[in-house]
Amino acid sequence: MLVYVLNKNGEALMPCKPRKARLLLKECKAKVVNRTPFTIQLLYGSSGYRQPVNLGVDAGSRYIGLSATTQQKELFKATVELRQDIPKLLESRRILRRSRRNRKLRYRPARFNNRGRKGKLAPSIQHKIDSHLTIIKKVCGFIPVKNIIVETAEFDPHKLKNPNIQGSEYQHGDEEGFYNVKAAVLSRDNYTCQICGAQHVKLQVHHIRFKSHGGSDSMENLTTLCKECHEKIHNNELKFNKKVKSFQHAAHMNTMRKKLVELLKNEFDNVFETYGYLTKYNREKLDISKSHCNDAYVISHNYNAKQSQVEYLYRKVRRHNRQIHKTKPGKGGIRKRNQSPYIVNGFRRFDKVLYNGIECFITGKRSSGYFQLKRFDGTVVSQGVSSKKLKLLEPIKGWLIAWRLANSSPT
């Protein structure tokens, strides 16, 4: 494990070994500025020595791979998990606002012209692009990165569904000749319930993967059911086990790729673009296992660098719930406030704390001063612990951060 170093002016220098960092701290020549990843800042003037460092970025819709390398070794590698809950939260907000408008409690203007500006992206995609920029700036803040190499990908959904599709077949889809998608699904399933086999009854079209879980209206996600079977599935009395491929992340990457590279070139000087087929070829040539951070290592183009045995894990979390009141009123029609105190006994949600020698995160807080604790991987440490038994290690800064040795569980 390396210790990252900043000079007196806060500029990134080459990292050092822990032994050297301990001596600098003991002699009061440096101070600690960050705990994970461990970073110190020199208290005396030093221009410092810098090597050319390449930062490989495996861009993604759900995960980001990062790897900073020199010709000799890998200085930093990380896997970043992005938020996937934004569409669901926006839908919940839309429902609540519509309910308020119907009750004439207050007026909200119509939404259908909100995205009229050319080039404006959906909030979920814009958030993912912003998260890419934020984490890259964060890494460049403690490592002297010279070149940034980004892997972008362009997906063909038709080719993913049917690898043998060619030429004019793109213009003749499954819905050709039908009035709508429902008619095409009923014809494809021969007007037969796909569970009980009933015919000549009232048939309905069912979403195999619910839209609330990220499902779409494509034919692959729709099936024909009779009314009785459909009701049993939605009442959890029956299960329809069929896996459906989702191309949501592929569509997001098609939208993100050009905008991401454009914004990076506006922020940094040396930004280069590479492609997935080159990464796959070089990874197989080097006989490296498939993972996001390993892909980023290959993308950095320093193939002789010794790989790091420490992988950092980042997870983007929601900062604040802005809903003022609870959805359902209590007795007497009184609507209770939804927001608990922001800081309770000096602790906030998602702070990293030490409890009985275990590093964990506060995932739930109560005004009484008792907290729910979980590890990075979601393992529950305790459902209720007094704040008196906790020691604050790191305040939340929008990310949950942990580390692990290669091919091991988070620490």
Segment 16-67, tens digit of pLDDT: 999 999 999 999 999 999 999 999 999 988 777 889 999 999 999 999 999 9
Residue 301 DSSP SS3: coil
pLDDT interval class at 71 (50, 70, 90): very high
Between CA 283 and CA 296 the distance in angstroms is: 10
Better-scored residue on pLDDT, 10 or 164: 10
Note whether 39 and 33 are within 8 A (CB).
yes
Note whether 377 and 361 are within 8 A (CB).
no
Between CA 237 and CA 244 the distance in angstroms is: 21
Bridge partners of residue 345, in order along the sequence: none
Residue 324 DSSP SS3: coil
Note whether 158 and 218 are within 8 A (CB).
no
Between CA 398 and CA 133 the distance in angstroms is: 14
* Structure token digits, residue 89: 């939260």
CB atoms within 10 A of CB 160: 12
Query: How many residues belong to the chain?
Result: 411
Q: What is the mean pLDDT of residues 183-211?
A: 88
- Angle subtended by helix axes 123-140 and 86-102, to nearest 10: 140
Between CA 300 and CA 71 the distance in angstroms is: 10
Instruction: Write out the H or E segment, with its range, that includes residue 182.
Output: helix 181-188
Give the model's pLDDT for residue 65: 95
Give the CA dihedral 157, 218, 256, 134, nearest 10 degrees: -130
Instruction: Write out the H or E segment, with its range, that includes residue 385.
Output: strand 380-386
- Our separate counts of H helices and E strands in the chain read 9, 18
Better-scored residue on pLDDT, 181 or 4: 4
Q: Which residues contact 22 (CB under 8 A, 6 or more apart)?
A: none
Phi, psi at 35, each rounded to 5°: -95, -40
Q: Which residues contact 30 (CB under 8 A, 6 or more apart)?
A: 5, 21, 24, 40, 41, 42, 43
Closest listed residue to residue 192, CA positions, set 173, 205, 210, 177: 205
Q: pLDDT by residue (tens digit) across 145-196?
A: 999 999 987 777 777 777 777 777 667 777 777 888 888 988 888 999 988 8
pLDDT interval class at 6 (50, 70, 90): very high
Domains of the chain with bracketed CATH: 1-50 (no CATH), 51-103+121-155+247-307 (3.30.420.10), 176-239 (no CATH), 327-395 (2.30.30.140)
* Structure token digits, residue 263: 């914004």
Give the model's pLDDT for residue 334: 81
Give the model's pLDDT for residue 46: 72
Give the model's pLDDT for residue 226: 92
Q: Which residues contact 400 (CB under 8 A, 6 or more apart)?
A: 313, 314, 315, 317, 350, 352, 361, 376
Give the model's pLDDT for residue 63: 95
Between CA 81 and CA 102 the distance in angstroms is: 38
Between CA 251 and CA 264 the distance in angstroms is: 21
Q: Tokens 């492609």 map to which residue?
A: 275
Cα–Cα distances (Å) from 30 to 19, 50, 138, 343, in that order, read 13, 18, 21, 31
pLDDT interval class at 241 (50, 70, 90): confident
Q: pLDDT by residue (tens digit) across 74-123?
A: 999 999 999 999 988 888 888 887 777 776 555 556 666 666 666 788 88
Q: pLDDT by residue (tens digit) across 305-360?
A: 999 999 999 999 988 887 888 877 777 878 888 877 889 999 999 999 999 999 99
DSSP 378: S
Burial 262-278, CB ≥16 within 10 A → b, else e: eebeeebeebebbebee
Q: What is the mean pLDDT of residues 240-246?
A: 78
* Structure token digits, residue 201: 């009854």
